[in-house]
Structure 1
Amino acid sequence: MSYSFEYIDIILLAMIAGFIFLRLRGILGKRTGFEGKAPGQFKEVIEKIKNEKTITSSDKFDDQAQKEFLQGAKIAYETIITDFSDNDNKITTSKPLLGEKILSQFNEALNERNSRGHSADITFIGINSAVIKEHKKNDKILNVTVEFIAEVITCIKDKNKNIISGDPEKIKKIYDTWVFSRDTTSSNPNWKLVNTLT
């Protein structure tokens, strides 16, 4: 007798489970095959929107973008000047900040200085001003020209440590016009120095 009650219980539970399943299916619906992923065409549209948004934000060189750029340009300026004062045979620390042409020119200047047995002592005091004089976009490349006014203590010594130019006790004001460049379509936000103007 107890066995019959157990069978009845199992049947009732199965009926309840079936009823709940049908109710959930009616409310939630059936899988269509697109859960967790978008159809191909829709994915292409989303990707296009993302790319256009990235390009637009990279192209934008408004007041805020210029302010942020100048902060980075000042750091780059000091890093490059300080690196060039090191008495190594080639540029090291600031290499990622330089375009190929400028890197080659700086390394040639270092080699020439070292071949003469000269050494440079440069103490960077600070930047008085950094002003954007021009910014031009050529296709996807944005070039920004910056005028720097900075103060340094500098002197060049020969192989016998005799001073041949500069003054180790005097602060000198220097004026530089540098051109920085970056590819606005690149995911790399870094700028590079591509030219120095006299």
Structure 2
Amino acid sequence: MILEIVILAMVAGFLGLRLYSVLGRRAEHEEEQPIPTRFERAEDAAATGRVAAPAPAAAKRRELAGANEAGVRAIAAADPRFDLIAFLEGAKGAYRMILEAFWQGDRETLRELCDDDVYAQFAAAIDAREAAGETLDNRLIRIEDASIASATVEDRVARVAVLFVADIAAVTRDAEGTVVAGSLADAVESRDVWTFMRHLDSAGPDWKLDETDEG
């Protein structure tokens, strides 16, 4: 009897070690997979050595269920390399990059990621802020959700509107660094609908911010 208990204990220990080693390798592998911060199609990510971390199955189902299926399918038919999940990951990266560039007054990054009209709006706001001697100390705490609001393709131009739900802490400081508005201690939910555009015949894979609106 004692011998049987010892054998069972050894078997359980061996199975436990096997399970731990598998899960440990999987966790390490997932932590090492960076999420693209720019719009990358699957083959572009592979070419640069950056592969998007796979989203959980439940998240994939939610994103696909909320998508404008007809528009997404039309874009995928016009460009078979289009991948919705990779696009949404890239959109979240662009959302963060554009917001931070605007807050920091980084016109070069805004010029790269936005079309002319949107860039002009951001630049005008930065000019007004600098003329007033004010700076922004904003923080994007987290992106709660990013889902497709609409998707269209016309004359080989694809447009995808994404609804972002995010928590943002906003602070405005004057020329002396004194807080004149907002608080970093209180994050506020922000709902933005940003429309991204790409000419499907263009050589590059990147999309540009074409329009901004409140969700």
Contact 1:130 1:146 in 2 (8 A): yes
Counterpart selection for 2:158 from 137, 142, 159:
142
**1:110 is aligned with what amino acid?**
I
Distance verdict in 2 for CA 1:135–1:164, change over 3 Å: same
> Which residue of the partner structure matches residue 92 of structure 1?
108
Match of 2:78 in 1: 59
The answer to whether the 8 Å contact 2:150/2:161 transfers is yes
Instruction: Give 2:91's aligned residue.
Output: 73
Inter-CA distance 174–57: structure 2 relative to 1 (3 Å threshold): closer
User: Separation in 2 of the partners of 1:61 and 1:126?
Assistant: 31
Name the counterpart of 1:13: none
Counterpart of 1:92 in 2: which secondary structure? helix
Distance across 2 between alignment mates of 1:142 and 1:188: 14
Letter aligned with residue 155 of structure 1: V
Change over 3 Å in CA distance of 1:78–1:150 after alignment to 2: same
**Paired letter, 2:92:** K
Q: State, as a whole percentage, how many aligned pairs show the same letter.
A: 27
Alignment of 1:181 onto 2:197: yes
Q: CA RMSD in A?
A: 2.0
TM-score (norm. length: structure 1): 0.65
Aligned to 2:100: 82
The one-letter code of the counterpart of 2:101 is D
* CA positional deviation for 1:85: 1.1
Deviations 1:112-170 (A, max 9, x none): 01101111001221210000010011211101000001112211112232322211221
Residue 189 (structure 1) shift: 0.8
Q: Which has the larger radius of gyration?
A: 1
The reply to whether residue 165 of structure 1 matches residue 181 of structure 2 is yes
Match runs of 1:124-135 below 5 Å = 124-135=140-151
Distance 1:101 1:58, change over 3 A: farther
- 8 Å CA contact 2:114, 2:210 repeated in 1: yes
Partner of 1:190: helix, strand, or coil? coil
Q: How far off is 1:98 after superposition?
A: 0.7
Q: Deviation digits for residues 153-192 of structure 1, max 9, x if unmatched?
A: 2111122323222112212221111000000111211000
Structure 1 residue 93, shift from structure 2 partner: 2.6
CA contact (8 A) 2:110 2:119 kept: no
More displaced stretch, 156-165 vs 141-150: 156-165
1-structure distance, mates of 2:88, 2:80: 12
CA distance 1:129–1:61, change in 2 (3 Å): farther
Structure 1 residues 29-67: Cα deviation after superposition (integer angstroms, max 9, x where no partner): xxxxxxxxxxxxxxxxxxxxxxxxxxx9772479x7111
Match of 1:93, SS state, is helix
